[in-house]
């Protein structure tokens, strides 16, 4: 199976904290906003497929005997990422790469919990090739090279709060979510254990590994996580009571790391890296989106207090990157008059509006 090669002449990367008029079909102009288009029409694909990226091979001591099979001399392939891709007819120059975050796998970019088109399809309709990734030890990339224990923790209500749906069992007023109980059921069933490698740089190396016959060079990775982050070494994340371990930290130049920010879910800290490493973030256009119901002052609700410090740290990070010549835009939707968005803005009820904003950014940066 082949995968679509990409030109290596440009290394433009867009990273978004979330992340359709279609030329896949002839029905509408590709530059028309999706919200102004008629109902969905047929999707026409030029190509689709899947492949593994990176990974490791573990070999046990001894010699394998096929007549007396055992693990001696055997190998174990694991810790790779899984990629599913679709390429529309008349594709744009650059593909979009969708990377999930905590508690999720690639399903998060597909059909929304209430049954509407997610970003995978919305941007296919806008003629972008789309690549959906499963992190190592997650989803379709589930094979690990080390043993791990995944506990069956009843934590749906914790995630309900952390993802800013509301304060259980109530939704926030105006939350951009279907109130159909089946939609919430579908969301909870899209959750998956956090079984990924959490070693700084290790995940990135697995994503960027390129096989000679599969030149995978995506240009715009879109992530539900924030860009410029470090990962801590961890076993699968466990929720204990009201506290969740925060394993994502923003990168700052050494000597410019801001003080830790206290929070009900634990202090949020930046990570200092050599300036030469940090400067890589200044070479790429970056946009970070935050939704609604994020307080400016400390909150008694852990789910909201968690995001209070995260947006505050993200603003400092934006300023640090731009101070060194970068191009980072941070958008807080309420500042635009857009209300009710959760952490999952790409699948919220107004995800077409959010997709339009992202399309506009791509066009302004000449990344479409």
Per-residue pLDDT for 346 more than 60?
Answer: yes
Per-residue pLDDT for 274 more than 80?
Answer: yes
- Confidence band of 5 (pLDDT split at 50, 70, 90): very low
Give dist(CA 231, CA 340) in Å, integer.
29
Lowest mean pLDDT among 12-21, 37-46, 113-122, 278-287: 12-21
**Residue of higher predicted confidence among 114 and 225:** 114
The reported pLDDT for the residue numbered 213 is: 41
Name 101's Cβ contacts closer than 8 Å, sequence gap at least 6: 108, 223, 224, 225
C-beta atoms surrounding 159 within 10 Å: 20
Q: What is the mean pLDDT of residues 52-64?
A: 95
What domains, with CATH codes, occur in the chain? 15-57+70-144+156-364 (3.40.50.1820)
Which 3 state secondary structure label does DSSP give 75?
strand
Joined tokens for residue 306: 């968690």
Residue 132: strand pairing partners: 84, 98
- Confidence band of 38 (pLDDT split at 50, 70, 90): low
The pTM of the full predicted model, rounded to 2 decimals, is 0.82
C-beta atoms surrounding 64 within 10 Å: 14
Parallel, antiparallel or unpaired: strands 15-16 and 285-290: parallel
Q: What is the mean pLDDT of residues 82-105?
A: 95
Q: What is the mean pLDDT of the chain?
A: 82
The reported pLDDT for the residue numbered 43 is: 94
């Amino acid at each position: 199976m082949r995968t679509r090669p990409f030109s290596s002449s440009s290394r433009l990367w867009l990273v978004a904290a979330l992340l359709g008029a279609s030329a896949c079909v002839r029905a509408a102009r590709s530059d028309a906003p999706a919200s102004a288009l008629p109902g969905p029409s047929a999707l026409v694909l030029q190509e689709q497929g899947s492949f593994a990226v990176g990974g490791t091979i573990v070999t046990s001591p001894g010699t394998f005997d096929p007549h007396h099979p055992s693990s001696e001399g055997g190998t174990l392939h694991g810790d790779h990422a899984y990629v599913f891709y679709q390429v529309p007819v008349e594709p744009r120059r650059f593909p979009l790469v969708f990377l999930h975050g905590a508690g999720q796998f690639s399903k998060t970019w597909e059909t929304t919990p209430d049954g509407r088109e997610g970003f995978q399809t919305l941007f296919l309709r806008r003629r972008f090739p789309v690549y959906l990734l499963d992190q190592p030890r997650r989803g379709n990339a589930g094979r690990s090279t080390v043993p791990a224990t995944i506990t069956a923790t009843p934590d749906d209500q914790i995630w309900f709060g952390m993802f800013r749906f509301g304060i259980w069992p109530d939704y926030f007023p105006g939350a951009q979510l279907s109130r159909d109980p089946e939609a919430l059921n579908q969301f909870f069933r899209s959750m998956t254990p956090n079984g990924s490698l959490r070693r700084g740089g290790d995940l990135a190396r697995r994503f960027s590994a390129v096989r000679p016959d599969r030149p995978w060079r995506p240009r715009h990775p879109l992530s539900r996580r924030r860009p410029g982050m470090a990962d801590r070494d961890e076993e699968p994340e466990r929720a204990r009571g009201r506290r969740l371990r925060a394993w994502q930290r923003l990168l700052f130049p050494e000597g410019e790391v801001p003080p830790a920010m206290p929070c009900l879910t634990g202090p949020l800290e930046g990570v200092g890296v050599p300036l030469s490493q940090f400067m890589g973030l200044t070479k790429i256009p970056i946009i970070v989106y935050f939704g609604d119901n994020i307080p400016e002052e400390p909150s008694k609700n852990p789910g909201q207090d968690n995001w209070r410090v995260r947006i505050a740290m993200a603003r400092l990070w934006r300023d640090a990157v731009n101070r060194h010549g970068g191009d980072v835009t941070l958008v807080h939707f309420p500042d635009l008059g857009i209300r009710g968005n959760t952490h999952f803005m790409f699948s919220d009820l107004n995800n077409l509006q959010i997709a339009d904003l992202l399309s506009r950014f791509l066009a302004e940066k000449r990344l479409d």
